[in-house]
């Protein structure tokens, strides 16, 4: 008797990566169609991608011929190219001697792929496949269930004026951002001195810069005379080309920006960089949402290169600019504002998305904690969440990350 043929579409989403996550699934067999979804309070995008596939295959009560569609290169390539089987055979160690992430989920998925006959199909995310788009909707809806507006103790509510620009302290404002389910726009911070104002990061596009400047104008605040870039990642730097005033970054950040500035932005080139591991799927998806035409992207380095710590007197408030390695990026900058008892951390609190799927190198995390513990500040200003206290920040960094 021939096996039943089932078509499955899956997708995962994560708000923060790690953060609240969800997965969505559509199963089709003949005229039959069923949707499944679920989520977790603290997870990663790749765990949600894997969980969606597992949930779909586990829903099948007998061995089936499965046509599986996913927009996750992580899932498709690891199965299709035999990477997951190799990781398992080597005791969940990759070819570069680093641990393979998510072995618990890969173990389950490999067993299910042995039980069923699975044909794998990669589909482009957020494109014209209505089933993939529906799975994305399900995944995002599930992730939102775990996203208090009501922050889960991790996020501290902002204070100050209503509207797009939010006052954080007497001299610090921010333009709230978006997460991976949107355009991955970071929080942009603005520090007002009596003589000069400083912006933290340039945002992910000229449109993002324009939004910040419009919000400043509406609040009666001058444009920043200096914009300091915390690290090279696209969402913090692709707006540099539209910044007015001076821009500053480390030499390491500028070297990376010159490299990225030579990248072409056709669909073919973007997909090639994903396959080569030069870029990651979540960034590519958000770039497509931010830019109607990615070929208009202009990546330029900052005008000023920082080779060591610097202190800038803005007039009535100072900014100590501190180059510092972090788990997230080797070229990080932290900005200490002593008078406001605040520290702008960029994405320095985050894990490594390019090499560790958003997880943390233990040695780099320990070094970051020692660095933060040695600074005097009450309020941390992160790149992708609302400001929170130093106490909350350190407690979270010391806690489990899986």
**Residues assigned a catalytic role:** 11-12, 49, 71, 126, 136
- How many angstroms separate the first and last alpha carbons of the chain? 43
Alpha helices, DSSP H, located in 5-66: 45-58
The closest alpha carbon to 26, from 70, 64, 62, 91, belongs to 70
DSSP state of 352: B
- How many residues comprise the chain? 402
- Structure tokens, 378: 């009450």
The single residue listed with the structure tokens 């001058």 is 222
The closest alpha carbon to 14, from 46, 38, 50, 53, belongs to 46
244-269 burial, b if ≥16 CB within 10 A, otherwise e?
A: eeebbbbebbbebbeebbeeebeeee
Please give the Cα distance from 74 to 237 (Å, whole number): 26
Q: Are strands 310-313 and 304-306 parallel, antiparallel or unpaired?
A: unpaired
Using DSSP, how many helices (H) and how many strands (E) does the chain show? 12, 18
């Amino acid at each position: 008797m021939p096996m039943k043929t089932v078509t499955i579409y899956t997708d995962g989403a994560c708000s923060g990566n790690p953060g609240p996550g969800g997965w969505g699934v559509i199963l089709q067999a003949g005229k039959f169609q069923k949707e499944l979804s679920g989520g977790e309070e603290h997870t990663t995008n790749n765990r949600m991608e894997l969980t969606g596939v597992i949930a779909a295959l586990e829903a099948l009560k007998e061995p089936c011929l499965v046509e599986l569609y996913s927009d996750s290169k992580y899932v498709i390539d690891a199965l299709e190219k035999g990477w997951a089987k190799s990781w398992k055979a080597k005791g969940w160690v990759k070819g570069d001697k680093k641990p393979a992430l998510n072995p618990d989920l890969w173990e389950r998925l490999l067993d299910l792929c042995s039980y069923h006959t699975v044909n794998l199909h990669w589909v482009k995310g957020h494109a014209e496949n209505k089933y993939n788009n529906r799975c994305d909707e399900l995944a995002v809806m599930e992730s939102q269930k775990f996203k208090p507006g009501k922050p889960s103790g991790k996020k501290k509510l902002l204070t100050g004026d209503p509207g797009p620009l939010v006052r954080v302290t007497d001299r610090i404002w921010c333009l709230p951002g978006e997460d991976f389910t949107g355009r991955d726009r970071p929080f942009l911070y603005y520090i007002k001195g009596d003589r000069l104002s400083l912006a933290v990061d340039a945002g992910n596009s000229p449109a993002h810069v324009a939004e910040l400047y419009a919000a400043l104008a509406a609040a009666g605040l001058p444009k920043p005379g200096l914009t300091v870039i915390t690290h090279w990642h696209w969402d913090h730097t692709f707006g540099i080309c539209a910044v007015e005033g001076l821009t500053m970054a480390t030499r390491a950040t500028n070297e990376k920006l010159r490299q990225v500035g030579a990248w072409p932005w056709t669909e073919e080139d973007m997909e090639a960089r994903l396959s080569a591991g030069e870029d990651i799927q979540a960034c590519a998806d958000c770039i497509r949402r931010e830019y109607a035409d990615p070929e208009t992207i202009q990546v330029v380095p900052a005008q000023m290169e920082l080779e060591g710590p610097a202190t800038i007197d803005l007039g009535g408030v100072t900014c100590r600019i501190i180059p510092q390695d972090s788990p997230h990026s080797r070229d990080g900058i932290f900005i200490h504002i002593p008078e406001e008892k605040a520290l702008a951390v960029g994405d320095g609190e985050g894990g490594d998305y390019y090499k560790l799927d958003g997880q943390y190198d233990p040695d780099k995390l320990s070094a970051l904690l020692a660095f933060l513990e040695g600074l005097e500040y009450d309020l941390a200003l992160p790149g992708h969440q609302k400001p929170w206290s130093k106490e909350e920040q350190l407690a979270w960094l010391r806690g489990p990350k899986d």
